Amino acid sequence: MKLDTQKIYDITPTVSPKLAVFPGDTPYENSYLMSFQEGHHLSLSKIQSTVHLGAHADAPSHYHANGVSIEARDLNLYLGKVQVISVAERRGHRIAVSDLNTSIQAPRVLFKTGSFPDPNRWNTDFMALSIELIRHLAQLGVKLVGIDTPSVDLADDKVLEVHNEIYKADLAILEGVVLDGVSDGIYDLVALPLKLQGAEASPLRAVLIERD
């Protein structure tokens, strides 16, 4: 992979205390134990936050009692050929197969909805995926689905119907990516979760790389 000659798109929102999280979840906080301003010889800080922060990967243990945690996931799920697909914005709508304007051409798919436009401002009416769509993607051999919203399910879904369908199909999940400056098409995805033992999710630095 010749990164020096290929364009890289950073699809990760900036992590700061302003970054929106689900109401009731833990926002990002960074506090300093040592700092140059306080006369110390180095800067040393700690962080506290939800693991569902900004661009992140859900592990199966987040949505199923028998699911594995994030450090047990195969990294190949989060690396390789990916397709970005725009879907016309319909607030509070679950994306159906009939909403797709192109055929599936990659084993990883990211949906660009524009329904969560500001990562620092929470809105509850973002779009999500549908059970029908997950079944369709699984039949085509897709192994990762992602979306530019905080969840593959609707904000008020307490059953997590799509998460559970994804568990049955053993797909990987990316949520909270930012696709504003990315055109539809085929890219290479690099979106590695941290090796957090026992964690049900992990923040990540997600990038798309233009293919030759």
Which residues participate in catalysis according to the annotation? Answer: 62
Specify the long-range contacts of residues 22-25, CB closer than 8 Å, at least 24 apart: 22/50, 22/52, 22/150, 22/151, 22/155, 23/122, 25/50, 25/52
β-partners of residue 31 are 46
172 alpha carbon, distance to own chain's centre: 10
Q: SS3 for 36-85, per residue?
A: CCCCCCCCEEEEECCCCCCCEEECHHHCCCCCCCHHHCCHHHHEEEEEEE
84 alpha carbon, distance to own chain's centre: 13
